[in-house]
Chain A
Amino acid sequence: MATAHIALDRAGKFRKVCGILDQHSYRPSGLIPILQAIQLEYQYLPEEVLTFVATSLDIPPARVFGVATFYAHFALEPKGKHVIRICDGTACHVKQSLPILSAIHQKLGTSEKQKTSGDALFTVETVACLGACGLAPVVVIDEQVYGGMTPERAVALVDDIKMQENATVPQAAAAPVNGETHVH
C-alpha cells in the first residue's frame, strides 16, 4: 500500500516536470527557467528530477547539476516549512544584521552549515541584498518583509510562528520533510 502510494506520487511528480518541460519546448537554453519552475513546484530540486530533466533535454546530467549548484537560488535539499532570510547587504550589515542572524540561529538550533531546524519547520538563510536598504536591517519570513529589525524583535517573530504552528497543527513534528509530500 505504502509503496503503491509512493509510486503514484512519483508518477505525479514527473507529470508536473513534463508539463514544465513542455512549456519550455524541451529547449536546453531554457534550463534555468525550467529549474526555477521545478523549484517553485517542489520547493527544492530533488536529485532524481535533475537527472530526469537532463535525459529529457538530451544534455549531460553534469551540465544540469553544474547549473543547479552554480546559482545561489537553487536548493538541492528540502527546505523547512518557513524560510527565514536575513539580509546581509552592506546597508543591513552596517546596521548590525549579524547579531540578528546569531540570535535566530541560537533560537532555532540552526547554524551556517545546518540551515534547517531539526523539526523541519524553519530554514535560516542569508541573502546578499533584497534592495530594501531603506528599512535596514531587514528580515524576510516567507516573502513577508520586516524592516528595522533587532535580535529581540526577530526572535519574537519566530516565536509567533512557532505558536501558530503549535495551535493549528498539533503534529507539527510530522511536517513534510521530503519533497514528495511538498507537492501542492
Chain B
Amino acid sequence: MRRVILCAGTGCMANGAMKVFERFREEMDRAGLHVVLELRPEAGDRDVRLSKSGCQGFCQMGPLVSVVPDGILYTKVRAEDVPEIVEQTLVGGQVVDRLLYKDPATRKACRGLEDNPFYARQDRRVLRECGFLDPEDIREYILHGGYSAARKAFLEMSPELICKQISASGLRGRGGGGFPTGRKWDAARVQKAATKFVICNGDEGDPGAFMNRSVMEGNPHSVIEGLMIAARAIGAEQTLVYVRAEYPLAVERMKRAVADAEREGILGNNVFGTGLSMKCDVMEGAGAFVCGEETAMIASIEGRRGMPSPKPPFPAQSGLWGKPTIINNVETLAHVPRIINQGPEAFHSIGTPDSPGTKTFALTGHVANTGLVEVPFGTRLREIVLEISGGVTDDNGKLMKNGFKAVQIGGPSGGCLTEAHLDLPLSYDSLRAVGAMVGSGGLVVMNQRTCMVSIARFFMEFTQRESCGKCVLCREGTKQLLALLDDVIEGRADAGTLDLLEKLGRAVQVGSLCGLGKTAPNPVLSTLRHFRKEYEEHIFEKRCRTGRCKALLKPEINAERCKGCGLCIKSCPTGAITGEKKKPHSINPELCIKCGACAKACKLQAVEGV
C-alpha cells in the first residue's frame, strides 16, 4: 500500500503540519483515493495510508512529507501544495520537483533520503523508526518487531545475562557522563531489596539540544521497551519516565504510549505470562536544569526541592525512597532493545572501541541544515559540522565561505571547539581531552560574527541561574564569574581579570558537589583556552571584533562621507548628534547610548563603529 507520512514533530507542527494533514485527507478523498488512517494488513488498489510520524530530524525544512515506497521526500510543504502532490504523485506517479530539497552547495534537487546530503551521511538507528512509525499506534510498533526484545528478556534471559550482554555491548550513558550502562545495572541487580526502581531521564535541560524530545515524541514505545528490559535486569517492578515540562508533546505521547501498552497487556500484572508485574508512570518536571542530575531528580520525584546529594551512596545502592534505583537517559534506553535483539557484538561493531554505537546530535546554530543527526562515534566533527550541516551561514541564513568560527558541544557543561579540532574523531574520551564533553549531544555552530566572550557569558548566566544554591562555590562562584565576564564585555576588566577567571573557574570545579557545578566553568575555561586573543582584545584594546558588545562600540561619523543632511540628528533618541546643515556632523559620546539608529538612518553609511 502506498503511504503518505507527515512529520509531526514539534518543529513541523509549529509550521502547520496538521493543516497539511487535514488538507491531504480532503484532497485524497476528492481525487477518489481511499484514505486509510489505521494500520491494515490487506489493501485495495486505491487505498493510500495517511499517517503521522515522529520528528524526522530535518526540522528547518519542515513540514516534511514522505511518500513511501516511492522514496520521495517533500520539504516545506504548505496546505496549498497538497492538491498538486495528490494529483501529480499519488494519482500520476510523478515527482513535484519544486517541493524537493535542493542541496545548497550544488543546487541539485534531492528526490529522497538516499541522495540528500543531510541524511545520506548519517547512520540512523535510534532515530530510524522515528521518521516512519506512527508514534501513537502501538500495533504498528509491534508489527515492526517492537516489544520482541522485552519478550526475549522476560522469557528467555536471566537478569544476570541481560546485564552481561549490555556490559559486553559497551553501551555508555548517552546523557552526558558516559558511565557504562551494564555496570550501573549490575550494581543495582546485586542489591538485596524487595523494591527497586528504574527511572528514565527525559529532563533534557541543555539549551540547544532536543534529541530526547524527538525520541520520546517519535518512538515512545522504544523507551518503554528499554525501561522494561532495564527493570527486568535489576529486578524492579516500578518504572518512571521523568519528562521535561517544556516538552508538552513528549509528555502527551509518552502518557499515551504507557496507556496503550497497559491496554495491550504489555505493562501490567502479568507481563508476557511470567506472572511478573511492571508499572510505568510518567512525571512532568517543573523547570529546573539541575534535576537532570540523578540525585536531584530523585529529590524532585519525592516531592522536594531538586537538590543533589553526595554520592556515595549511589542511587544503585540507595536511590528513590532509599531503594536501589537506576536512572538512564532516554537515548540509552532506546538503544537497549536493539542490543538485546541483535546481540552485543552488532552494537560493538560500530563506533570506536571505547565509545561503541551511534550517538544522536542536535545540530543547530549558524548552519544551512539544522536538525537531528545520528552518526557512529568516531565520526569526525568536520563531517557533521561542515558537511551534513550543508555549510555555515551568516545571520540571514546565506551560505558563508570560511564562515566557521567555533562549535559548542555539550551545552552549558561542555566547551567551545575551534577549526583545529574539526578532525577530532568524536568519542567520550577524545572530547574530554580537549576540555569539552559529549554531554547530551547539543552541537551549536557559530559563525565569524559571534563574540566568544558573550557566548561564555550566556552559558555562565544560565548555570548561575540554574545553580540550586547548595554548594557555596557553585552558588557564589558562578555569580562572580558572571560579574567578571560582564567586566570584560563592558570594558571594566584589567590585566588581572583573566587570571582571576581561570582561578575561580577551577575552584568552582573542585568545590561543587554535582555535575552542574563541576562543569559550569567549562564554557569560560574552554573559550579562554581557545579564544584567549578575543578576551585580550576586549580588555586591552577595549574592542569587540564582532561589534556585538555594545559597551565597547565607539560610533563616529566619517567626516568625508557625511554630507550634513541631518537625518541622523532626527533619528537620534538622545540628541547626541549635532552639526550644521551641509557640514559634517559629530556624535557626543557622553550622550550616545549606542543604539545604532543613526547608522540605520544614514543613507551614505557615514556612521562607523556601531
Q: Which residues of A contact B (CB under 8 A)?
A: 27-33, 35-36, 63, 66-67, 70-74, 88-91, 93-96, 127-136, 138, 143-147
Asked if A133 and B14 sit within 8 Å, CB to CB, the answer is: no
Using known A-B contacts A33-B283, A70-B305, A90-B444, determine if residue A133 contacts B208 with beta carbons closer than 8 Å.
Answer: yes
Using known A-B contacts A33-B283, A90-B207, A128-B462, determine if residue A95 contacts B305 with beta carbons closer than 8 Å.
Answer: no
Chain A residues within 8 Å of B159, by CB: none
Asked if B10 and A131 sit within 8 Å, CB to CB, the answer is: yes
Give chain B nearest CB distance to A93 CB in angstroms: 6
Asked if B458 and A133 sit within 8 Å, CB to CB, the answer is: no
Cα–Cα distance between A137 and B531 once the two chains are bound (Å): 26
Interface membership of chain B positions 195-239, coded 1 if the CB is closer than 8 angstroms to chain A and 0 otherwise: 000000000111111100100000000000000000000000000
Binds A, one of B65-73, B333-341, B364-372, B578-586: B364-372
Asked if B208 and A32 sit within 8 Å, CB to CB, the answer is: no
Chain B residues within 8 Å of A70, by CB: 288, 305-306, 468
Interface pairs A-B: 8 shortest CB-CB: A134-B59, A90-B208, A89-B207, A72-B287, A145-B14, A71-B286, A131-B210, A91-B364
Cα–Cα distance between A32 and B285 once the two chains are bound (Å): 8
Using known A-B contacts A33-B283, A71-B287, A136-B370, determine if residue A130 contacts B455 with beta carbons closer than 8 Å.
Answer: no
Name A29's closest neighbour in chain B (CB-CB). Answer: B303
Cα–Cα distance between A136 and B76 once the two chains are bound (Å): 16
Asked if B395 and A143 sit within 8 Å, CB to CB, the answer is: no
Chain A residues within 8 Å of B364, by CB: 90-91, 133-134, 136
Would you give 26 A-B contacts (Cβ < 8 Å), ordered by A? A33-B283, A36-B284, A67-B303, A71-B285, A71-B287, A72-B286, A73-B285, A74-B286, A74-B287, A90-B365, A90-B408, A90-B459, A93-B458, A94-B444, A94-B455, A95-B365, A95-B395, A129-B207, A131-B209, A131-B213, A132-B59, A134-B60, A134-B62, A135-B15, A138-B14, A147-B11
Asked if A135 and B11 sit within 8 Å, CB to CB, the answer is: yes
Does B411 touch A at the CB level, under 8 Å?
Answer: yes
> Which residues of chain B (1-26) have a CB below 8 Å from chain A?
10-11, 13-15
Chain A residues within 8 Å of B411, by CB: 90
Interface membership of chain B positions 271-289, coded 1 if the CB is closer than 8 angstroms to chain A and 0 otherwise: 0000000000001111111
Chain B residues within 8 Å of A89, by CB: 207-208
Asked if A32 and B287 sit within 8 Å, CB to CB, the answer is: no
The total of chain B residues at the interface (CB under 8 A) is 55
Does B512 touch A at the CB level, under 8 Å?
Answer: no
Asked if A133 and B210 sit within 8 Å, CB to CB, the answer is: yes
Give chain B nearest CB distance to A70 CB in angstroms: 4
Give chain B nearest CB distance to A23 CB in angstroms: 14
> Which residues of chain B (356-408) have a CB below 8 Å from chain A?
362, 364-366, 370-371, 395, 408
Q: Besides the contacts A93-B458, A128-B289, A136-B365, what 13 more A-B pairs have beta carbons closer than 8 Å?
A: A29-B301, A29-B302, A31-B304, A67-B304, A70-B288, A88-B207, A89-B207, A90-B364, A129-B246, A133-B209, A133-B210, A134-B58, A147-B14
Cα–Cα distance between A27 and B303 once the two chains are bound (Å): 9
Does B413 touch A at the CB level, under 8 Å?
Answer: no
Using known A-B contacts A89-B208, A90-B442, A134-B11, determine if residue A95 contacts B286 with beta carbons closer than 8 Å.
Answer: no
Asked if A73 and B11 sit within 8 Å, CB to CB, the answer is: no
Give chain A nearest CB distance to B494 CB in angstroms: 27
Q: Which of A129, A132, A136, A144 has the most CB of B within 10 A?
A: A129
Name A87's closest neighbour in chain B (CB-CB). Answer: B207
Chain A residues within 8 Å of B395, by CB: 95-96
Q: Which of B284, B301, B364, B446 has the most CB of A within 10 A?
A: B364
Give chain B nearest CB distance to A63 CB in angstroms: 8
Partner of A129, one of B209, B285, B288, B301: B209
Cα–Cα distance between A93 and B451 once the two chains are bound (Å): 12
Using known A-B contacts A89-B207, A94-B444, A131-B247, determine if residue A147 contacts B15 with beta carbons closer than 8 Å.
Answer: yes
Give chain A nearest CB distance to B101 CB in angstroms: 14
Chain B residues within 8 Å of A93, by CB: 207, 458
Give chain B nearest CB distance to A168 CB in angstroms: 23
Using known A-B contacts A91-B365, A95-B395, A147-B15, determine if residue A73 contacts B59 with beta carbons closer than 8 Å.
Answer: no
Chain A residues within 8 Å of B302, by CB: 29
Partner of B286, one of A36, A132, A133, A136: A36
Cα–Cα distance between A29 and B304 once the two chains are bound (Å): 8
Cα–Cα distance between A133 and B283 once the two chains are bound (Å): 24
Asked if A146 and B14 sit within 8 Å, CB to CB, the answer is: yes
Cα–Cα distance between A138 and B248 once the two chains are bound (Å): 16
Cα–Cα distance between A94 and B365 once the two chains are bound (Å): 6
Give chain B nearest CB distance to A42 CB in angstroms: 16
Asked if B458 and A90 sit within 8 Å, CB to CB, the answer is: yes
Cα–Cα distance between A147 and B285 once the two chains are bound (Å): 24
Asked if B286 and A31 sit within 8 Å, CB to CB, the answer is: no
Does B300 touch A at the CB level, under 8 Å?
Answer: yes
Cα–Cα distance between A28 and B60 once the two chains are bound (Å): 43
Does B245 touch A at the CB level, under 8 Å?
Answer: yes
Asked if B11 and A132 sit within 8 Å, CB to CB, the answer is: yes
